[in-house]
Amino acid sequence: MTKRDEIYRCNICGNIVEVLHEGRGTLVCCGQNMELQTERLKDEGKEKHVPLIQKTNVGIKVKIGSLPHPMEVRHYIEWIELTADGITHKKFLKPGDAPEAEFLCNGKILTARAYCNIHGFGKFNDFSLHQLFYNISSQDIYYRKAR
């Protein structure tokens, strides 16, 4: 059974799927079950993978790692996601981009996660801010209301 917001990866072709609706059964790609991606960055490489959340004058910035994460063709952050008070924002990155994203929003409860094409994803949970404001204007960012 899949759960909402879980990330699955095909170990053959590399397809990545995010579950938007819970369901029974398993996700299959290339004839085999897809692998559930869990937070694997608790020890190894933590300083380069854990999302750091910062309040800015215009919203919230998420930087990946206390040490800059590589953004090379073979090793880079594919996407950064911020959930602010139940609304999820996501920015997709490519090699050469800075490993960060600024979202034009504020919220009281924030969760950030990022996906590294080599190491999987890191997560930072339930960071609190004291303001609630929502505005979004970038075509590179999309949102969906979380549960």
pLDDT in tens, 41-80: 455 566 677 788 888 999 999 998 888 889 999 999 999 9
Q: Which two tokens stand for residue 66?
A: 């206390």
19 with 8: CB under 8 angstroms?
yes
Contacts of 52 (CB under 8 A, 6+ apart): 62, 63, 64, 65, 66, 124
Residue 48: half-sphere exposure toward Cβ, Cα within 13 Å = 13
Helix (H, G, I), strand (E, B) or coil at 139: coil
> Would you list the domain boundaries of the chain?
7-37, 46-145
Query: Which of 2.60.40.730, 3.40.50.1700, 3.40.50.300, 3.40.228.10 is the CATH number of 46-145?
Result: 2.60.40.730
4: pLDDT strictly greater than 60: yes
Query: Which of 3.30.70.20, 3.30.1330.80, 2.20.28.100, 3.10.20.30 is the CATH number of 7-37?
Result: 2.20.28.100
Q: Which two tokens stand for residue 83?
A: 């959930």
**pLDDT > 90 in the chain, percent:** 52
| DSSP sequence for 36-96 | EE----SSTTHHHHSEEEEE-SSSEEEEETTTTPP-BTTB-EEEEEEEETTEEEEEE--TT
80 with 124: CB under 8 angstroms?
no
pLDDT digits (tens, 9 = 90+) for 95-126: 999 999 999 998 888 888 889 888 887 766 54
What type of residue is 66? S
pTM for this prediction: 0.78
